[in-house]
Structure 1
Amino acid sequence: MRETTTVRLPGRELFVEAFGTQGDPVVLLVAGTGACMLDWDREFCARLAAGRRRVLRYDGRDTGRSTTCPPGSPDYDLHGLASDAIGILDAHGVGAAHLVGLSQGGAVCQLAALTRPDRVTSLTLVSSSPGDADPERPTLPPTPLETRLELHNAPWPQWSDHAAVAEYLVFLDRLHAGAGRDFDEDSSRDRARKVVERAGNIESSLTNHYYVEPVAPWRGHLAGIRTPTLVIHGAHDRLLPLEHGLALSREIPGARMTTLPLGGHGLDPGDWAPVISEILDHTRPLEEGIHSHAAVR
């Protein structure tokens, strides 16, 4: 069963869609930079819900049907986005939930676990990063030069040309794709058109998350996370190389690492089955027994 609602928080509204049955363990899906809830495919959500989970996906600020700020002027930072996640749980009467974050959404989930550990039952961090403890002296590999050049040579489209914006999203999907698989351009284009059609302001959607105010680096605090953590990372991630995921798995106590051999940045449908299985295992209710790797240290 699917249902939608608009969560009203001070100064913003967030559009949320729920899958599954009331009373099942809640899994909150947090999308990445500039991505609306459609980054979590409906079939992916339904299959996760079929494992007896209550799945929530939502449009983050400046995306989809949620509140937007003027282009280039977001009035929030990553801590604000983390408070949005907690606000969604409050609105649904959920004391604590399993948080699954993709890319920047993984950073949001890390901050939620550090600031509100009582509200986070488990963490799953997909294609994410802890960032560098000292940005002036980076230790994690940057986005490869080839990828940066591809992004630089494909400037943002004219925002009023929705067809061009959709093609830009297809370009990004292709850039994010992994290795050894055919890129499904038709599915990418269909999703891109839906993203553009439902965006309150597509320019804000695709730019404002890059303009959020920086927050203090949190990598040095990862050792304090006591939330059971699963890290999932593609071996061929062209935005955040695999070492970013490995760093998370090393520095969060007891974290478990799953590498997707053909994976890129994000989740390819070819990886849904093993990823859903991993998430269901990681979020298994206590009464069903949690594996030792997922026990609180």
Structure 2
Amino acid sequence: MRETTTVRLPAAELFVEAFGEEGDPVVLLVSGTGACMLAWDREFCLRLAAGRRRVLRYDGRDTGRSTTCPPGSPDYDLHDLASDAIGILDAFGVGQAHLVGLSQGGAVSQLVALAHPDRVASLTLVSSSPGDADPEHPTLPPTPLATQVELHNAPWPEWSDHGSVADYIVFLDRLQAGSGRDFDEHFSRERARRVVERAGNIESSLTNHYYVEPVAPWRGRLPELRVPTLVIHGAHDRLLPLEHGLALAREIRGATMTTLPLGGHGLDPGDWAPVISEILGHTRTPEEGLLPHAAAVR
């Protein structure tokens, strides 16, 4: 079963899409910087729901069909985005959910688990980072210089030209893709077209998350977490090198780590099957026994 709704919170309206059957364990998918819910492909969601999961994906603030701020002027921070996740669970009457966060969505998910541990059944952190406990004296490697140069030299799109914006999104997808596999430009461009068409303000979508005021570092609090945690990270992540994922797995008590040998930043369709299998296994309840609907994730 699939349904869509707009969740109205005090400070934002968020567009949410649900897959699967009510009563199944809830998996809340949290997208990354500048990414709407299409970062979680519909096919990915359907295959996850086929494993008897109630899957929720949503447009975060400034993306897709959710509330937008003027370009360059977001009126929220990561703690507000964490509160939004709780607001969605409240709206769906969900007491506890499995959170799956991608990139910045992984940071938001960590903050949710620290602030509301009773609401989080498990964490899955994909292409994410704990950040540095002291940003003035970093211990984690930054985005490689070559990647920074490519991003810096890329011309801004013409925001009123949908084709120009789609080209820019494809450029970002190519930059983030892992090595060792062919880049699927058709898949990227088709998704880029849909992202642009459904955005309330595409300039705000692709820029405002970078203007969000930083919050106090939380890395030192990670040992407080008692939430079952799975870390998934690409071996060839060009934005957040693998050391970021390794730090999460090391510093969250009992966390397990899965490295995607050909993975970059984000989820390539070539990695969906193992990732879905990992998530289903990680979110399995004792009553379920063996991995449900294993054939659905091949």
**TM bucket by the smaller chain?**
over 0.9
**CA shift digits 1:36-56 (9 cap, x unpaired):** 000000000000000000000
Q: Distance in 1 between matches of 2:230 and 2:281?
A: 10
In the TM superposition, what is the alpha-carbon distance from 1:213 to its structure 2 partner?
1.1
Partner of 1:145: 145
1:222 aligns with 2:222: yes
Q: Distance in 2 between matches of 1:11 and 1:275?
A: 33
Q: Distance in 2 between matches of 1:283 and 1:86?
A: 19
Q: Distance in 1 between matches of 2:155 and 2:253?
A: 41
Q: What is the letter of the counterpart of residue 209 of structure 1?
A: H
Partner of 1:58: 58
Partner of 1:246: 246
Partner of 1:270: 270
1:282·1:290 contact (CA, 8 Å) conserved in 2?
no
In the TM superposition, what is the alpha-carbon distance from 1:168 to its structure 2 partner?
0.1
1:207 aligns with 2:169: no
Q: What is the letter of the counterpart of residue 129 of structure 2?
A: S
Partner of 1:123: 123
Partner of 1:33: 33
SS in 1 for 2:136: coil
1:112 aligns with 2:116: no
Partner of 1:294: none
Partner of 2:75: 75
Partner of 1:198: 198
Q: Distance in 1 between matches of 2:123 and 2:289?
A: 17
SS in 2 for 1:86: helix
Provide the aligned length of Structure 1 versus Structure 2. Answer: 291
TM-score by length of 1: 0.97
Q: Distance in 1 between matches of 2:288 and 2:151?
A: 46
Gaps of 5+ in 1: 292-297
In the TM superposition, what is the alpha-carbon distance from 1:290 to its structure 2 partner?
9.7
SS in 2 for 1:35: coil
Q: Distance in 2 between matches of 1:168 and 1:148?
A: 15
In the TM superposition, what is the alpha-carbon distance from 1:158 to its structure 2 partner?
1.6
Partner of 2:283: 283
Q: What is the letter of the counterpart of residue 153 of structure 1?
A: N
Q: Distance in 2 between matches of 1:145 and 1:276?
A: 32
Q: What is the letter of the counterpart of residue 123 of structure 1?
A: L
Partner of 1:177: 177
Same amino acid, percent of matched pairs: 85
SS in 1 for 2:35: coil
Cα RMSD between the aligned structures?
1.1
Gaps of 5+ in 2: 292-298
In the TM superposition, what is the alpha-carbon distance from 1:155 to its structure 2 partner?
2.6
SS in 2 for 1:220: helix
**CA shift digits 1:64-111 (9 cap, x unpaired):** 000000111111000000000000000000001000000000000000
SS in 1 for 2:5: strand
